[in-house]
């Protein structure tokens, strides 16, 4: 480690000397490029899940956002900025590349990585002598998804202890305070070269915390606002660090949201994580504030429609660099200098509904109109109806067709790219699941006719969350009738048919569970898109169906039939503790005790749940290993487990006395 930093210092020294030598030779421009002289620093702050209309500077009276408000007062605030997709990874990829999702290839969270060779703010600024570092708060932006390219430091370290209780599972993100701590340590390192530092705050993402330790009861009934107030305090710490190190005046600060959020009671509210499915204003409008070096107007509020893709060419231009020819964004400097530019139309997309077997959406936003292309198209007059409640698609048919044609022109001008394939480990998938991104397989719909429209399926989606909550609270019989209803209404939603199978198992209707899962598996195997289906959280749905079928066969006493399927599931996902547990169960039922013990041991190591520990204890007992068996059963008594599991552990300990 020390050796590396010594080498780096030596390298920096060598580069410095090289720069001086080049200047001496008259290569002033090249020397300036190598050392980044005269260029502003850039601090890019991305505000996850932050609605513009929940900030004081955007007119929200209930806000406590003094840091962002001051930035707006000293800089330029864009009233109408929109994102390209209401999901974290696709939207951040747009901010960093200036490309729209079909062009950078990241259409969903956790499904792929940025294709090689796509220029990003980090690669372009690094080439021009900038020091580069990123500090991200959530697993959805982990380095493996490719946004790390060009960053010398990419801090995506989410320690297990950083998981925060939210009442519905731990959260795989770290607090804004922890992100700001890491960024400030880096910002305080002295250096001659300018820097590009990206800091990502995730706190306003569901589930919300009221931060009573900090704000008392002020936000007790408005925890989403509390998260934004908390985030704002961390922004202030970053700004203070710039002041303390004396680089404030030489730094361009960009604060931008990745997407908004739908709030309970709104006309277009979405189930958790409350964004991602649809393209209405609540999730597509984001805050965008630029301040500091290169921003010549103070307190200007721009009403023109702009988009987050514009950040890329604007930052590069402010740093004296030309954007690569292929950028969907445009340079916002006219507005930073008190001028303006011609109006434009902005593209938006949502691919998440395809995860449920339903149609995705595309949108075109102009300063007056929003057109949403969906099986049931939508058209809104944004001036008269900013909340998008009065669909004018039927009344203004020819206008809608014009907007659809403009959308087609934008699409045909794109150069589509496919994301690089990324494989997630089971533990990574669990972390991402804990953020609330669950879904079924991603289907292209080629097998079926016209697909359902997400807005019409929304009531069913809310019902599915009710069913999940019932399962979690042990009311499986009630959940079962909901799953039956939902799978009849939307048989294309693989995830729900899988859930029906699992619930049948839980109420000990193993024969019907087997029939349900067998039919689903066979159907998936006939449809290539279903077989390859990936969940928005990155996991394949097919291995889960194979595993659940194997487990159902075990429950029906058909261990020999279960065994090859259990092996297949383990083969598909080797580090999945649940699949290993199914294999142990099938082996034990087939009489292969030694192999069962081995599989149970791996299952308990990968995922030490009460169920896995109990199976391990039984396998150990059957192998005559009394002491390890007792230890495994004792662990169940010491951990949170349900009453039946504790009872099984006590019964086992009784036998092992
Ligand atoms: Zn996000």
pLDDT category of residue 556 using cuts at 50, 70 and 90: very high
The helix/strand/coil state of 277 is coil
How far apart CA 439 and CA 537 sit, in angstroms, is 8
Backbone angles phi, psi at 303, to 5 degrees: -90, -10
Of the candidates 356, 375, 378, the one whose C-alpha atom is nearest the C-alpha of residue 461 is: 356
| Model confidence at 562: pLDDT above 90 | yes
What digits encode the pLDDT tens for the residues 272-309? 889 999 999 999 999 999 999 989 889 999 999 999 99
Query: What pLDDT, on a 0 to 100 scale, did the predictor assign at position 310?
Result: 97
Rounded Cα gap, residues 286 and 161, in angstroms: 31
pLDDT band of 250, cuts 50, 70, 90: very high
Which range (34-38, 46-50, 153-157) has the least confidence? Answer: 34-38
**CA 611 to ligand 1 centroid distance, Å:** 34
Residue 180's domain spans which residues? 40-345
Mean pLDDT of 402-427: 85
487-521 pLDDT, tens per residue?
A: 999 998 998 999 999 999 999 999 999 999 999 99
Using N-to-C axis directions, what is the helix angle for 494-506 and 510-526, rounded to 10°? 160
Q: Tell me how far the alpha carbon of residue 448 lies from the centroid of ligand 1, in angstroms.
A: 31
Q: What spacing in Å lies between the alpha carbon of 254 and ligand 1's midpoint?
A: 17
Mean pLDDT of 89-96: 97
pTM: 0.85
Q: How confident is the model at residue 14 (pLDDT cuts 50, 70, 90)?
A: low
Confidence at 432, pLDDT banded by 50, 70, 90: low
Q: Residue 361's closest CA among 80, 81, 84?
A: 84
pLDDT at 101: 97
Is-contact 546 578, C-beta < 8 A?
Answer: no
In this predicted structure, the answer to whether residue 4 has a pLDDT above a threshold of 70 is no
Tell which residue, 524, 586, 580, has the closest CA to residue 555. Answer: 586
pLDDT of residue 112 exceeding 90: no
Contact yes or no for 318/40 (Cβ under 8 A): yes
Is 441 part of any domain? no
Q: What angle do CA 307, 311, 316 make, to 5 degrees?
A: 150
Averaged pLDDT, 653-657:
90
Give the count of alpha carbons within 13 A of 69, CB side only. Answer: 16
CB distance 347 to 363 below 8 Å: yes
Say how many Å lie between the CA of residue 87 and the centre of ligand 1.
5
The answer to whether residues 173 and 139 touch, using CB atoms and an 8 Å cutoff, is yes
What is the signed CA dihedral for 298, 299, 304, 309, rounded to 10 degrees?
70
The band of 431, judged by pLDDT with boundaries at 50, 70 and 90, is low
Q: Residue 641 has what pLDDT?
A: 86
For residues 592-600, average pLDDT: 96
CA of 49 relative to ligand 1 center, distance in Å = 5
- Band the pLDDT of 327: cuts 50, 70, 90: confident
Distance, C-alpha 402 to centroid of its chain: 33
Supply the DSSP string of 310-366, one letter for each residue. Answer: GHHHHHHHHTT-PPPS--SS---HHHHTT-------EEEEE-GGGGGTS--EEEEE-
Q: Which stretch of 30-39, 308-317, 319-328, 478-487 has the lowest confidence by average pLDDT?
A: 30-39
Question: Tell me, what's the pLDDT at 135?
Answer: 98
Compute, in degrees rounded to 10, the torsion defined by CA atoms 44, 47, 52, 57.
Answer: -60
Residue 98 domain-assigned (yes or no) = yes
Q: How many CA atoms lie within 13 A of 444 on its CB side?
A: 6
Q: Looking at the domain assignment, is residue 424 inside a domain?
A: no
Mean pLDDT along residues 440-450? 43
Mean pLDDT of 80-91: 97
DSSP 3-state of 257: strand
Residue 652 has pLDDT above 90, yes or no: yes
Compute, in angstroms, the gap from residue 70 CA to the centroid of ligand 1. Answer: 24
Neighbours of 340 (CB within 10 A): 11
Q: Which residues contact 359 (CB under 8 A, 6 or more apart)?
A: 353, 374, 375, 445, 450, 451, 452, 453, 454
Question: What is the C-alpha to C-alpha distance for residues 68 and 171, in angstroms, rounded to an integer?
Answer: 26
Q: How far apart are the C-alpha atoms of 585 and 616, rounded to whole Å?
A: 10
The answer to whether the beta carbons of residues 273 and 206 sit under 8 Å apart is: yes
At residue 538, the pLDDT reads 54
Distance 147 CA to ligand 1 centre (A): 14
How many folded domains does the chain comprise? 1
**Separation of CA 48 and ligand 1 centre (Å):** 4
Look at residue 7 in the predicted model and tell me its pLDDT.
52
Q: Is 61 exposed, middle or buried (0-12, 13-18, 19+ CB in 10 A)?
A: exposed
Cα(92) to centroid(ligand 1), Å: 8
CATH of the domain at 79: 3.40.720.10
Spatial distance between the Cα atoms of 60 and 285, rounded to a whole number of angstroms:
15
Q: Report how far ligand 1's centroid is from the alpha carbon of 52 (Å).
A: 14
Question: Do 331 and 314 form a contact (C-beta atoms < 8 A)?
Answer: yes
Q: Average pLDDT over the chain, rounded to whole?
A: 88
Residue 119, pLDDT above cutoff 80:
yes
Residue 204 lies in a domain: yes
* C-alpha dist (Å) from residue 194 to 38, 130, 134, 169, 241: 8, 5, 15, 41, 15
Rounded to 5°, angle at Cα 359 from 490 and 497 = 25
What is the CA(271)–ligand 1 centre distance, in A?
15
Confidence bin at 448 (pLDDT 50/70/90):
very low
Separation between Cα atoms, residue 463 and residue 483, nearest integer Å: 9
Would you say 260 and 85 are in contact if contact means Cβ atoms under 8 Å apart?
Answer: no
DSSP annotation of 146 reads T
- CA of 243 from ligand 1 middle (Å) equals 28
Taking ligand 1, which is a single-atom ion, which protein residues have CB atoms under 5 Å away?
48, 88, 258
Rounded to the nearest angstrom, the distance between the alpha carbon of 139 and the centre of ligand 1 is 11
- Residues 67, 239 contacting (CB under 8 angstroms): yes
In the three-class reduction of DSSP (H, G, I as helix; E, B as strand; rest coil), residue 80 is classed as strand
Helices 542-555 + 559-572 axis angle, to 10:
160
Q: Has residue 116 been placed in a domain? A: yes
**253 - beta bridge partners?**
43, 291
Q: Measure the CA–CA gap between 83 and 100, rounded to whole angstroms.
A: 9
Chain centroid to CA 531? 24
Q: For the chain, what is the largest distance between any 2 Cα atoms, rounded to a whole number of angstroms? A: 88
Report CA(260)–ligand 1 centroid distance (Å). Answer: 8
Give me the DSSP letters along 561-594: HHHHHHHHHHHH-TT-HHHHHHHHHHHHHTT-HH
CA of 231 to the centre of ligand 1 (A): 14
Residue 242 and residue 43 in contact, taking contact as beta carbons nearer than 8 Å? yes
Q: Are 296 and 276 a contacting pair, CB within 8 Å?
A: no
């Amino acid at each position: 480690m020390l050796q590396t930093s010594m080498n780096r210092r030596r390298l920096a020294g060598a580069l410095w000397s090289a720069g001086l030598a080049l200047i001496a030779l008259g290569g002033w421009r090249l020397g300036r490029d190598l050392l980044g002289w005269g260029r502003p620093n850039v601090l890019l702050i991305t505000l996850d899940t932050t609605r513009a209309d929940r900030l004081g500077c955007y007119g929200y009276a209930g806000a406590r956002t003094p840091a962002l408000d001051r930035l707006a007062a000293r800089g330029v605030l864009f009233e109408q900025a929109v994102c390209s997709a209401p999901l974290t990874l696709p939207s951040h990829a747009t901010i960093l590349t200036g490309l729209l999702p079909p062009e950078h290839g990241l259409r969903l969270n956790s499904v792929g990585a940025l294709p090689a060779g796509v220029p990003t703010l980090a690669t372009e600024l690094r080439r021009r002598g900038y020091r580069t570092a990123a500090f991200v708060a959530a697993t959805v932006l982990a380095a493996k998804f490719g946004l790390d390219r060009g960053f010398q430091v990419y801090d995506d370290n989410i320690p297990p202890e950083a998981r925060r209780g939210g009442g519905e599972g731990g959260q795989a993100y770290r607090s804004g305070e922890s992100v700001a701590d890491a960024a400030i340590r880096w910002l305080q390192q002295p250096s001659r070269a300018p820097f590009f530092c990206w800091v990502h705050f995730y706190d306003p993402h569901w589930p919300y915390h009221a931060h009573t330790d900090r704000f008392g009861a002020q936000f007790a009934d408005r925890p989403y606002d509390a998260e934004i107030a908390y985030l704002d305090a961390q922004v202030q710490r970053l700004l203070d660090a710039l002041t303390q190190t004396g680089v404030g005046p030489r730094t361009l600060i960009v604060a931008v949201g990745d997407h908004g959020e739908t709030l309970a009671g709104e006309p277009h509210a979405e189930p958790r994580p409350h964004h991602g499915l649809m393209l209405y204003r609540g999730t597509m409008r984001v805050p965008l504030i630029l301040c500091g070096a290169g921003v010549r107007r103070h307190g200007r509020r721009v009403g023109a429609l702009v988009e987050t893709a514009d950040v890329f060419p604007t930052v590069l231009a402010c740093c004296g660099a030309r954007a690569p020819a292929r950028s969907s964004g445009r340079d916002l400097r006219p507005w930073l200098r008190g001028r303006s530019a011609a109006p434009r139309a902005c593209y938006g997309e949502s691919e998440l509904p395809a995860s449920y077997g339903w149609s995705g959406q595309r949108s075109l936003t102009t300063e007056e109109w929003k057109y949403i292309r969906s099986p049931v198209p939508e058209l809104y007059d944004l001036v008269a109806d900013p909340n998008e409640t009065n669909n004018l698609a039927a009344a203004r048919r020819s206008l809608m067709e014009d907007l659809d044609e403009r959308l087609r022109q934008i699409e045909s001008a794109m150069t589509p790219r496919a994301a690089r394939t990324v494989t997630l480990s089971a533990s990574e998938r669990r972390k991402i699941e804990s953020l609330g991104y669950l879904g079924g397989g991603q289907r292209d719909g080629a097998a079926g006719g016209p697909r359902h429209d997400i807005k019409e399926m929304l009531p069913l989606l809310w019902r599915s969350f009710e069913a999940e909550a019932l399962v979690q609270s042990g009311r499986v019989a009630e959940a079962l009738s909901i799953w039956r209803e939902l799978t009849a209404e939307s048989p294309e939603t693989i995830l729900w048919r899988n859930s029906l199978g699992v619930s049948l198992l839980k109420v000990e209707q193993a024969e019907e569970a087997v029939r349900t899962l067998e039919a689903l598996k066979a159907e998936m195997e006939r449809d290539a898109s279903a077989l390859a289906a990936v969940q928005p959280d990155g996991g394949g749905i097919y291995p889960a169906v194979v595993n659940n079928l194997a487990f159902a066969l075990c429950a029906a006493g058909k261990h020999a039939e279960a065994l090859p399927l259990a092996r297949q599931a383990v083969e598909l996902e080797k580090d999945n503790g649940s699949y290993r547990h199914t294999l142990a169960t099938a082996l034990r039922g087939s009489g292969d005790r030694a192999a069962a013990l081995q599989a149970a041991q791996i299952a308990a190591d990968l995922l030490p749940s009460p169920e896995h520990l109990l199976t391990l204890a039984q396998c150990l007992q059957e192998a005559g290993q009394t002491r390890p068996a007792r230890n495994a059963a004792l662990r169940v008594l010491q951990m949170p487990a349900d009453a039946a599991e504790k009872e099984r552990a006590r019964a086992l300990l009784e036998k092992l006395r």
